[in-house]
Structures are given as structure tokens and as C-alpha cells.
Amino acid sequence: MLNGVTVAVKRMCDMNRVEFEEHIQMLGDLRHPNVLSPGGYHYRREEKLIVSEFMPRGSLLYVLHGDQRPDRVVLDWPARMRIAVGVVRGMAYLHEKLGIPAMRLVSMDGANFDAIHSCCRGRLTPLAV
């Protein structure tokens, strides 16, 4: 961004304006330390984007299995447990707040969403169902 802040941008699937605005409203109402909230959004018929905080360590899948560099940080078991507890807390919050199974709301591909905060606490970003 112009102010030097790095953000993550998610391109959303095909949905109409009403569905997109409902999704943004739902995301905007979420407040929990283990759930990423959107920082902004952009809607055009051909392009729907959600902007959120950038997770510098990347996805959980990448941190646990994908980073093969020799200088990579290998997580010890206490760090892995903190991440697991954070993910569970975030999922419990999503389930309680939204009233539907949280597993349906979380990207499980590991590409962009199951993020690791820089202080080793698991954070989730809910997606459209």
C-alpha cells in the first residue's frame, strides 16, 4: 500500500453484490484474537476483493510442511500446541457466533488463510459457505 503496510488480498468467488455485501457484513462483525477481520474490500461485477492483515509467516500448511529452506524456522512442540489451541479457539468462536459448523467457514487448502501470526498463535479467516 502507499503507506508501506503490507496486506493480504483475497479474490472472492463469483457472487452477486447482495451476497458479497452480506459476507462482508458477517466478516466485519467478527472480533476475536484468533480470527482475522477484513481491513477493507472492493466490489465490481468482475472483481471482488477482500483486504486483510498480512501474516508474515504464511499459511499453517507452509510453515509445517512447505518451507524447505535451510534457514527455515522449525516449530517446536510447544509452539505447535499454541497454534493448535489458537485455531481451536478461533473455530469455537466462529461456531458460537455464526451458529453453523466452523469447518465449513475455513479454507482448508492452506494457501492463503490458515495463517500463522508472527507470535505463533493460530488465526483463521472465515470464507463464504
**Chunked mean pLDDT (size 10), the chain, 129 residues:** 79 85 85 84 88 79 76 82 87 81 48 40 53
The strand pair at 122-123 and 7-11 is best described as unpaired
For the domain bounded by 7-123, which CATH number is listed? Answer: 1.10.510.10
Measured distance CA(94)–CA(102) in Å, rounded: 6
Strand ranges across the sheet with 7-11? 7-11, 47-53, 38-44
**Which pLDDT score, from 0 to 100, does residue 116 have?**
42
Q: Which ranges constitute the DSSP H helices of 1-129?
A: 17-28, 60-61, 77-98
Output the DSSP codes for 46-61: TEEEEEEE--TT-BHH
**Which pLDDT score, from 0 to 100, does residue 111 have?**
38
**Which pLDDT score, from 0 to 100, does residue 108 have?**
40
